[in-house]
């Protein structure tokens, strides 16, 4: 794996092929749990962990599995990994487990995990697939974080509420109240808010891409279009 | 032709079987490794809730271990046996923590624990699990709002039947605008649980059965024992 390949994998995961904004896979947890920053990041990281493990596991056994049986084996692998992560979270970060609840086992049904196993890990080596899992997972986590943060500010006027559920009572003081005495804006907390904010995010990304493209075009043929300046 | 196909299928099946076995083994190991920790944290979680509604001065026994089985009962909303935790002070029964279910929440069942003092006064109510709408009906959760503490001190004596309703319906309980189905369900469930407690007080405080399974195996003995308790 060359440096350039590594860079490509990371860039694909974080931006170009971002799971949340470009592939639009795994919307179920994205929409449901991104109502606060803490929830969103927690589920994002759990998904990242599963994707990293499943990516490396699939890449490691890809030579052994017969082609016809590969999908069931991937699904089996992912289900096993998610269950292990769920058991571990239940045991060691119990309060976070209570918050994320049903959404942890639902990582199994998050199609981004299977999609990466099938489209990337089954064709690449262990190291590249592990890196792909991390990059894709972190890309998803970043989108979740922005979604969660925006929805929480709009919906509740706070940031990082619920942090005490992970780090204990002392973390309560770390909750940031952006807008004091905020009456709340329910639609931002409910799933429709997630759709709206996600739509805006995608629009922003497309706009940024377009602008970057335009800059490139202007830079390569500056003499041809003098009037745009 | 069919022979090679059969062979290929067998190969695939063997592969699947192999990975299934590995997966099962991995899961079994993780389950065994985490089982005790999980049971511990679940107990801690429940203890935390019980600790909020049972005053520490009301008991000196191990309230988590002092449990009895409660048969399924419509008044508790349960369709299978639940567990009662019993607190005793100097071997005198003082408080019981019942599990109750409000079946008609906006998002389905709401699981509650309700602590009753021996005189029937409610020590407190906590929601254990629920599926109410986030931001709307979830103020019943103590982590979100103090509303659920309104039950503290209520009893069948100091609240008549028609009081066990939200203000909107002519009762005495406050609620939050926008979500009345949720508090209605909880108030009804707590009211019913209070009636259940009034009817079954004696058996709920049945003397220590070290192991709930043992208690189940010897009902006759326990009945006798509970009779003694009553006459005492």
Residue pLDDT, tens place only, A36-66:
888 888 888 889 999 999 999 999 988 888 8
Inter-chain touch B134–A98, beta carbons under 8 Å: no
Residues B78 and B30 in one domain: no
Inter-chain touch A94–B45, beta carbons under 8 Å: yes
DSSP bridge pairs for B179 = B176
Highest mean pLDDT among A19-33, A90-104, A191-205 belongs to A191-205
Reported as a pLDDT band with limits 50, 70 and 90, residue B217 is: very low
Residues B123 and B187 in one domain: yes
The whole-angstrom distance between residue B104's C-alpha and the CA centroid of its chain comes to 16
How many whole angstroms separate alpha carbon A77 and alpha carbon A83?
10
| pLDDT higher than 50, residue A208 | yes
Inter-chain touch B19–A76, beta carbons under 8 Å: yes
Give the phi and the psi of residue B37 in degrees, each rounded to 5: -60, -40
Q: Name the domain boundary from B15, B30, B53.
A: B53
Q: B38 to chain A, minimum CA–CA distance in Å?
A: 4
| C-alpha distances out from residue B94 to B62, B110, B188, Å | 13, 26, 25
Residue of B12, B20, B30 with shortest CB distance to A66: B12
Residues B171 and B120 in one domain: yes
Nearest Cα neighbor of A47 from A128, A121, A125, A110 is A110
Residue of chain B whose alpha carbon sits nearest to that of A69? B12
How many whole angstroms separate alpha carbon B193 and alpha carbon B207?
21
Residue of chain A whose alpha carbon sits nearest to that of B42? A94
Q: B104 to chain A, minimum CA–CA distance in Å?
A: 21
Would you give the DSSP letter of residue B92? Answer: E
pLDDT of amino acid A161: 77
Residue of A84, A98, A189 with shortest CB distance to B27: A84
Inter-chain touch B23–A35, beta carbons under 8 Å: no
Q: What is the pLDDT of residues A84-116, one digit of tens each?
A: 988 888 888 877 787 776 678 888 878 888 888
Q: B149 to chain A, minimum CA–CA distance in Å?
A: 20
pLDDT of amino acid B1: 56
DSSP helix/strand/coil, B224: helix
Nearest Cα neighbor of B209 from B225, B193, B187, B227 is B225
Inter-chain touch B27–A83, beta carbons under 8 Å: yes
Q: What is the mean pLDDT of residues A182-193?
A: 81
Highest mean pLDDT among B83-87, B129-133, B214-218 belongs to B83-87
How many whole angstroms separate alpha carbon A48 and alpha carbon A209?
25
Nearest Cα neighbor of A104 from A126, A87, A119 is A87
Residue of chain B whose alpha carbon sits nearest to that of A94? B41
Is B101 within 8 Å of B77 (Cβ atoms)?
A: yes
pLDDT of amino acid B230: 39
Other beta carbons within 10 angstroms of residue B182's beta carbon come to 28
Task: Quickly list DSSP for chain A.
Answer: --HHHHHHHHHIIIIIT-TTTTS---HHHHHHHTTSHHHHHHHHHHHHHHHHHHHHHHHHHTTTS-GGGHHHHHHHHHHHHHHHHHHHHHHHSHHHHHHHGGGTGGGGG-HHHHHHIIIIITTS-HHHHHHHHHHHHHHHHHHHHHHHHHHHHHHHSEESTTTHHHH-GGGGGG-EESSTT----HHHHSHHHHHHHHHHHHHHHHHHHHHHHHHHHHHHSTTT-GGG-
Q: What is the mean pLDDT of residues B87-112?
A: 89
pLDDT of amino acid B63: 84
Residue of B31, B134, B143 with shortest CB distance to A189: B134
Inter-chain touch A80–B143, beta carbons under 8 Å: no
Inter-chain touch A66–B8, beta carbons under 8 Å: yes
Inter-chain touch B45–A189, beta carbons under 8 Å: no
DSSP helix/strand/coil, B129: strand
Residues B29 and B67 in one domain: no
Other beta carbons within 10 angstroms of residue A49's beta carbon come to 20
Q: Tell me the two tokens of residue A58.
A: 């699939």
Count residue pairs from A and B with Cβ separation < 8 A: 66
pTM score, two decimals?
A: 0.69
How many whole angstroms separate alpha carbon B189 and alpha carbon B106?
14
How many whole angstroms separate alpha carbon B141 and alpha carbon B129?
9
Reported as a pLDDT band with limits 50, 70 and 90, residue B227 is: very low
Q: How many residues in total does chain A contain?
A: 229
| C-alpha distances out from residue A209 to A5, A8, A26, A205, Å | 21, 17, 23, 6
pLDDT of amino acid B229: 41
Residues B195 and B169 in one domain: yes
Is A19 within 8 Å of A132 (Cβ atoms)?
A: no
Reported as a pLDDT band with limits 50, 70 and 90, residue B104 is: very high
| pLDDT higher than 60, residue B32 | yes
Reported as a pLDDT band with limits 50, 70 and 90, residue B131 is: confident
Q: B112 to chain A, minimum CA–CA distance in Å?
A: 16
Residue of A79, A87, A156 with shortest CB distance to B34: A87
Is B162 within 8 Å of B187 (Cβ atoms)?
A: no
| pLDDT higher than 70, residue A26 | yes
Mean pLDDT of chain A: 84
Q: What is the mean pLDDT of residues B134-153?
A: 84
Residue of B11, B15, B31 with shortest CB distance to A87: B31
Residues B44 and B94 in one domain: no
| Total structural domains within chain B | 2
pLDDT of amino acid A169: 67
Q: Per residue in A167-203, is it b (16+ CB within 10 Å) or e — as a string?
A: eeeeeeeeeeeeeeeeeebbebbbeebbeebbeebbe
Residues B22 and B62 in one domain: no
Q: Tell me the two tokens of residue B89.
A: 């002070």
Residues B29 and B121 in one domain: no
Q: What is the mean pLDDT of residues B1-8?
A: 78
pLDDT of amino acid B128: 84
Residues B110 and B191 in one domain: yes
| C-alpha distances out from residue A210 to A139, A205, A216, Å | 20, 9, 10
Q: B232 to chain A, minimum CA–CA distance in Å?
A: 43
pLDDT of amino acid B226: 42
More confident residue, B209 or B179: B179
Residues B33 and B130 in one domain: no
Residues B93 and B162 in one domain: yes
pLDDT of amino acid B218: 41
Q: Which residues of A touch B (CB under 8 A)?
A: 35, 61, 64-66, 68-69, 72-73, 76-77, 79-80, 83-84, 87-88, 90-92, 94-95, 98, 155-156, 165, 184, 186, 189-190
Inter-chain touch A76–B136, beta carbons under 8 Å: no
Q: B43 to chain A, minimum CA–CA distance in Å?
A: 11
| pLDDT higher than 90, residue B141 | no
Q: Which domain holds residue B9?
A: 1-53
Is A150 within 8 Å of A204 (Cβ atoms)?
A: no
Is B204 within 8 Å of B96 (Cβ atoms)?
A: yes
Tell me the helices (H) and strands (E) count for chain B, helix number first: 4, 5
| pLDDT higher than 80, residue A15 | yes
Inter-chain touch B133–A76, beta carbons under 8 Å: no
Residues B184 and B225 in one domain: yes
């Amino acid at each position: 794996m060359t440096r350039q390949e590594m860079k490509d994998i990371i860039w694909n995961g974080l931006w170009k092929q971002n799971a949340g904004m470009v592939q639009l896979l795994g919307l179920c947890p994205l929409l449901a749990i991104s109502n606060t920053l803490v929830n969103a990041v927690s589920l994002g990281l759990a998904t990242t962990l599963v994707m990293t493990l499943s990516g490396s596991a699939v890449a490691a056994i890809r030579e052994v599995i017969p082609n016809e049986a590969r999908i069931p084996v991937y699904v089996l692998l992912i289900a096993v990994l998610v269950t292990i992560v769920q058991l571990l979270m239940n045991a060691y970060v119990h309060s976070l487990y209570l918050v994320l609840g049903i959404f942890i086992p639902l990582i199994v049904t998050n199609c981004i995990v299977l999609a990466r196993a099938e489209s990337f890990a089954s064709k690449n080596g262990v190291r590249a697939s592990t890196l792909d899992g991390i990059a894709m997972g972190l890309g998803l986590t970043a989108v979740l974080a922005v979604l969660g943060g925006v929805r929480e500010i709009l919906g509740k006027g706070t940031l990082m509420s619920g942090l005490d559920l992970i780090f204990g009572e002392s973390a309560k003081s770390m909750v940031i109240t952006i807008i004091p005495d905020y009456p709340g804006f329910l639609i931002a907390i409910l799933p429709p808010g997630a759709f709206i904010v996600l739509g805006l995010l995608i629009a922003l990304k497309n706009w940024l891409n377009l602008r970057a493209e335009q800059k490139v075009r202007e830079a390569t043929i500056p003499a041809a279009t003098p009037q745009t300046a | 032709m069919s022979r090679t196909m059969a062979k290929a299928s067998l190969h695939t099946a063997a592969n699947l079987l192999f990975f299934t076995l590995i997966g099962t083994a991995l899961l079994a190991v993780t389950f065994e490794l985490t089982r005790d920790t999980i049971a511990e944290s679940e107990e801690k979680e429940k203890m935390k809730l019980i600790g909020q509604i049972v005053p520490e001065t009301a008991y000196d026994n191990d309230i988590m271990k002092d449990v009895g089985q409660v048969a399924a009962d419509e008044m508790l909303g349960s369709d299978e046996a639940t567990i009662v935790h019993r607190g005793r002070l100097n071997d005198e029964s003082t408080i019981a923590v019942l599990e109750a279910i409000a079946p008609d929440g906006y998002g389905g069942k709401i699981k509650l624990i309700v602590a009753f003092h021996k005189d029937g006064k409610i020590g407190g109510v906590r929601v254990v699990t629920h599926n109410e709408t986030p931001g709307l009906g979830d103020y019943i959760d103590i982590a979100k709002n103090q509303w659920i503490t309104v039950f503290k001190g209520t009893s069948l004596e100091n609240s008549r039947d028609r009081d066990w309703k939200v203000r909107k319906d002519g009762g005495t309980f406050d609620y939050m605008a926008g979500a009345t189905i949720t508090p209605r369900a909880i108030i009804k469930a707590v009211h019913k649980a209070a009636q259940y407690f009034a009817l079954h007080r004696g058996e709920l405080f049945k003397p220590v059965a070290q192991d709930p399974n043992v208690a189940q195996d010897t009902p006759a003995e326990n009945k006798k024992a509970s009779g003694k308790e009553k006459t005492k």
